[in-house]
Amino acid sequence: MANDAKRLKELERENRRLKKIVAEKELEIDALGEIARGKLVGPSQRRRAVHMLQDRLGLCAGAGVSDRRAAPLHPASHPSRGGPGPGAALLGCGASPYSIPRWGYRRAHTVAVREGWRVNRKKIQRLWRQEGLRVPARKRKRQRLGDSTLPADRLTATHPDHVWALDFQFDVTATGRTIKILHVVDEQTRESLADLVAYSIDADATVGVLDKIVAARGTHPQFIRCDNGPELTAAALRDWCRFTGAGTAYIDPGAPWQNPWVESYASRMRDELLAIEQFDTLLEAQVLIADWRTEYNDYRPHSALGMLTPTEYARQRRNNHPKPS
């Protein structure tokens, strides 16, 4: 009698075990059916499929489709392969493409070997390709844009000192050093108000030039028009505009035609001076550019001004049309 009771308990225990196996198998079949519609080609797709099943069906290790039961989808950690292989090293070593995306498979191989993995470079390269990994293309850095008080394409100068236009251009000395030239032009009279020539011109130097122009002319502009270069969007120039009451009109990135008058002036200087003269020193460049600027303002007839020089036109304009209050 006791033997029969013991045998009955063993049969019940075996029955429960078989039912559990059948239930798990049915659950596994249902779960794998969720992804049977697609073709899982590479390890990364299979790994995502495993995670999708666990998230979607509310499964976890030890209940239902665990990582081990889903291992046929995950070649990098198959239980029959004796533990993790080179794929796990690729994703887990110090050269992980997810932690250092600018590294390629060559550096990953070097680090994997350094950490004790016996794997050749071609194996790492093959795993790299199977995972669909590549060094991402470099993206352009975000450019800081200035805040305009009036859009540049809607601003037209109507009187002297209404709009001052600023721009930079570059040239090279005979010794190979780059020189930078800051142009400041009155858009209405076409006068060149300043040409600062130096090896480097920052925002503070730009503000210094504007202060000198204001001191010489006894007035400040109502607006300045310029591009979004770092010297022209810096806090120093914004503070200068705020203290003087000048508005700003920043042109759109990549749209130099929205700043035409200073661009025209720079092209005239390039055509008549910079493309002809070779500067041996910075001092020589400063002297020759200053001489050309004087000739441009006081001697060179300007076709857009009725063949008057910018200085003559400005004098005539101020006498006949006083600046509005």
Q: Would 145 be classed as within a structural domain?
A: no
Domain match, 168 and 125 both: no
Note whether 85 and 76 are within 8 A (CB): yes
Q: How confident is the model at residue 280 (pLDDT cuts 50, 70, 90)?
A: very high
Sequence-ordered alpha helix ranges (H) in the chain: 2-33, 43-56, 86-92, 105-114, 121-130, 203-217, 235-244, 260-269, 282-298, 310-320
Number of domains in the chain: 2
Query: What values do phi and psi take at 321, rounded to 5?
Result: -135, 85
The CATH number covering residue 261 comes to 3.30.420.10
Q: Give the pLDDT of residue 255.
A: 85
Choice between 135 and 183, residue whose per-residue pLDDT is larger: 183
Q: Give the pLDDT of residue 12.
A: 80
Domain match, 100 and 178 both: no
Average of pLDDT values for 248-275?
90
Between the CA of residue 250 and those of 47, 196, 221, 319, what are the distances in Å?
50, 21, 15, 31
Between the CA of residue 195 and those of 169, 179, 183, 231, 296, what are the distances in Å?
10, 12, 5, 15, 12
Q: Give the pLDDT of residue 265.
A: 94
Residues 6+ apart with CB under 8 A from 262: 165, 166, 167, 183, 184, 185, 187, 225
Q: Which long-range contacts does 62-66 make (Cβ < 8 Å, 24+ apart)?
A: 64/24, 64/27, 64/28, 64/31, 65/27, 65/28, 65/31, 65/32
Which structural domain, as residue segments, surrounds residue 247? 152-320
Distance CA 59, CA 93 (A): 28
pLDDT tens per residue across span 138-178: 666 655 555 665 555 567 788 889 999 999 999 999 999 99
pLDDT tens per residue across span 78-128: 433 334 444 544 555 545 555 566 677 787 778 778 878 788 888 888 877
pLDDT tens per residue across span 4-59: 777 777 878 887 877 777 777 776 666 666 555 555 555 566 666 666 666 655 54
Query: What values do phi and psi take at 264, rounded to 5?
Result: -65, -45
Domain match, 158 and 251 both: yes
Q: Would 141 be classed as within a structural domain?
A: no
On the question of pLDDT at 60 being above 50, the answer is: no
Distance CA 158, CA 188 (A): 6
Q: Give the pLDDT of residue 303.
A: 83
Q: Give the pLDDT of residue 84.
A: 45
Strands 178-186 and 247-250 come out as unpaired
